[in-house]
Amino acid sequence: MMMAYIGVFLFALAGFAALAMSMEKHSRELTGHMLNIAQRNILYWLGWGLLAVALGLGVAGWHWNIGPVLLLGSLSAAGMLLVFLLPWWPLQPKHAARKEKPLPPYPDWPLPGVARVVLLLALIGLPAWVVFNAWKMSEQAVLREDAIHGQIGPWTFVIAEENHDGPEFFAGNTPVKEFHLRFCESCDSEIRAAYLKIRKPRSLRAAGLAFHGARWTREVAIYIPPAARLQDQLWLTVESKTGEVYQQAFAIERLSPATARFIQEKK
């Protein structure tokens, strides 16, 4: 998991560095000489492509509820690192102070037509591939044989853990576990929100983390408390658009055996 964090940060740092080198001033500071227009244009699009890859890694590892947050944190850290490194960068040219000349007008795209099309398709295709895989993962989770089918209030549903692995550690030492939920298509329009947590909620305000998405893409990553016990169970709370609230408990070892093992091993 730590390697995944490092991967997002390194791609964010590389993306910012490429974008910096695509600028006239910073290209001279980072490379020691002035890059030509074609090179700066290529670095500009390469920088955005690397940032897209960083987003893809974050979403692939933590999905849309946590992945973009992780990317924003990595972008902040990468930007601060570049700001502090630039004044001491060893390749900066040593020259007398001179007057800044006005920047030339932004040039036309220097790459040939085929290379232009390939690069644009890659920049469009990467986010599309990430979105498709995130959707596919949600689809597969609720279609597995170990998914739990049930009814809460007037609505039928299917709930399943995202994968059979134990909780993942977010931000170093916070164990989280991802679950997916699907209501019947006609039911979904009647539901305001659905929540999941370990231990029975005392009120709707303490119902846990809300599933985000709609119909086939509801998902949530819940925190596993240090004092959690198997007897606490996993509690699903569903609120209708007319104000009714329904709750249902699941045995942790039934819904997520790996999470049950994780809780037992902590004792």
How far is it, in rounded angstroms, from Cα 184 to Cα 164? 24
pLDDT of 49 above 70 = yes
pLDDT of 65 above 60 = yes
Query: For 121-144, how does the pLDDT look when each residue is reduced to its tens digit (9 = 90+)?
Result: 665 565 555 555 554 554 578 888
Query: For 214-263, how does the pLDDT look when each residue is reduced to its tens digit (9 = 90+)?
Result: 656 688 889 899 889 999 999 999 999 999 999 999 999 999 999 999 99
Single out the residue of 168, 112, 160, 113 nearest to residue 137, CA to CA. 160
* 23 or 115, higher pLDDT: 23
> Looking at residues 40-57, what average pLDDT do you find?
86
pLDDT of 27 above 90 = no
- Structural Rg of the chain based on CA atoms: 24
> Looking at residues 111-122, what average pLDDT do you find?
57
Q: Give the pLDDT confidence score for residue 263 in this predicted structure.
A: 92
The residue extents of the domains of the chain are 2-95+107-137, 144-266
Q: Which of 12-21, 153-162, 164-173 has the highest mean pLDDT?
A: 153-162
pLDDT of 148 above 90 = yes
Q: Give the pLDDT confidence score for residue 136 in this predicted structure.
A: 52
Band of pLDDT at residue 157, cut at 50, 70 and 90: very high
Q: Give the pLDDT confidence score for residue 260 in this predicted structure.
A: 95
The distance of Cα 19 from the centroid of its chain, to the nearest Å, equals: 22
Provide the Cα torsion 67, 219, 129, 166; round to 10°.
70
* 203 or 93, higher pLDDT: 203
Q: Which fold has domain 144-266?
A: Immunoglobulin-like (2.60.40)
pLDDT of 73 above 80 = yes
Query: For 88-103, how does the pLDDT look when each residue is reduced to its tens digit (9 = 90+)?
Result: 766 555 554 555 566 5
How far is it, in rounded angstroms, from Cα 21 to Cα 47? 9
φ, ψ of residue 65 in degrees (nearest 5)? -85, -25
Query: What's the whole-model pTM score?
Result: 0.56
Query: Strand 174-183 and strand 155-161: pairing?
Result: antiparallel
